[in-house]
Structure 1
């Protein structure tokens, strides 16, 4: 009967560990990217007792020694996605882990809550671990310190579109902005004069900044109203004070000269930009860090690295929603959507995969198992007490 007490104690110990496992799962119900675990229970070794007359054929009585709590296995099922509105949050749909480095150690995580620190690095929001990007075939820190601004780009091409009506004698196109090498805008006016009476289909024009004439030229249209081939462009030298001079080309290829009620020629585009400063950083669905600037430009920066292993049981949880890898399984490193890795959802995070209903069901089983084991110990104790009472009555 003493062995029954020890067997009951093994039940109490194992079910206590089971309760701890359930407690950890439930406590992390709202932990971003948390993966719940399941505790295995194993029966202990058996004692074989052969009875008289059964020794030859090997039959007999097998008595177990109780139960023990085995290893806990992590369940890597997908958690739900929750929108956060944070442009640097991301979640993986499917296989894969984000890669972060802390104290020269590499970790894998499903928690995609990131931010840019003072040094320009993309880091985890909780402890500043360095998020890894994928460059060619290697990992590197994602750092934007050299990309917080973009220089000005001088205008080299101005595109016009729409119609110069042959019914108009003149037409002024104003507020055409040309940007110099310093990023300064220069509003210019292009004044058109219908010269059809002298040269069929010709318009002469003057380009002025204020009262300063920058250039004069002419554009010739064919009988069908389109620019004469080879004469669609006009180039002049733009040399504002203090800036570097450059060549600016006026492109008329998308204009025409027809019999319209009035002229409607307008600026279609120009390729100069002012200097810009970083206004926003965000992740896109391909894992690229997209930088937006005050001058309207955007730049696709470095791309997040993702990793996966062919044997998830080789990953060891180390806390902080992170895992380490023992090196025994094959490690795959690439980017979202490649080499079997999952896709990204941005501006949100993956929630815990803990199923509360299942955990409560397991809690009932563990509680009843613990209660039953304690009853076994109580029963064995009472039986031993009865033996003691019998001896006392002799």
Structure 2
């Protein structure tokens, strides 16, 4: 074995593809019974591969200290694995794509499984060996110790790519068990925090009738971030893509303001409130003007006491403070922020404390929202780490 990739998610599979494509003998070790479980789970509601939008807009969604993804993410921009490259790579696997009205790019069939099957077939054709139920358990001298169905196995690869995920969705394999082993070898790891997560809300009793309903046609502002996406009211709080897009700013303390009528100027909204029949109840008046019972309910929930003056009521509806009790636990988050700090990585994503060991994906200290950004970043760092490991092997030869 020349190269070992630990973790069979998108980042690990991309690193394996790069290494095997360059002629390396590659083993992929995966703790779970099947590869890419989180990838498949994320694709159940439609696999959003990337985002087709102007580069400055796309790049602004990345944060953190990891090389290649810190703003501006030069590695994505130079075409190695940016949106255009992701689309070309998927088409190369025989997957037809379409772009939605918001710029999100999906497979025509929407599902992740056909793409994954084609990808695994390509990797097998390149000679990549998969070892499932092969869980890394740390170091033993200069060897890598694995728990396997038959007991314990020691591996001694020439180069390693770590793609073990962050700390979200531990039941699918991303449990951050690797942190003490790397920290013990001098690798700095920034604390993990939830990313792309919902927020807890203690609703009043009348809101129970709206649990499970989608909030549409609103704008959510938090700091410099703005989202027009849909999100869902649940018994625990609020979740969904529209919240995830601004969740990092909310988590870090920015006040969240909800515009319930983003396509109407405040003056026009005030005029409509003034024109609503006075005989209507407050709730019916709000529903008539806002055009949606759920938006009216949110104004009733978070806007009390409601101003009687139409202009002040319109101002409140245009900048409604979203009252929450903090982010949901990291175990429920789509992804995580934090991870291996950028200061401990080379530009090729090699660990400075462990020459010949590279890292990719959500192990690294970076974050991006869902909607194509997160997956593109995982693929990009996987390719970058794979290229780094390939160059390391070539130099050793």
Richer in helix (by share): 2
Richer in strand (by share): 1
TM-score normalised by structure 2 residue count: 0.26
Tell me which structure has the larger Cα radius of gyration.
Answer: 1
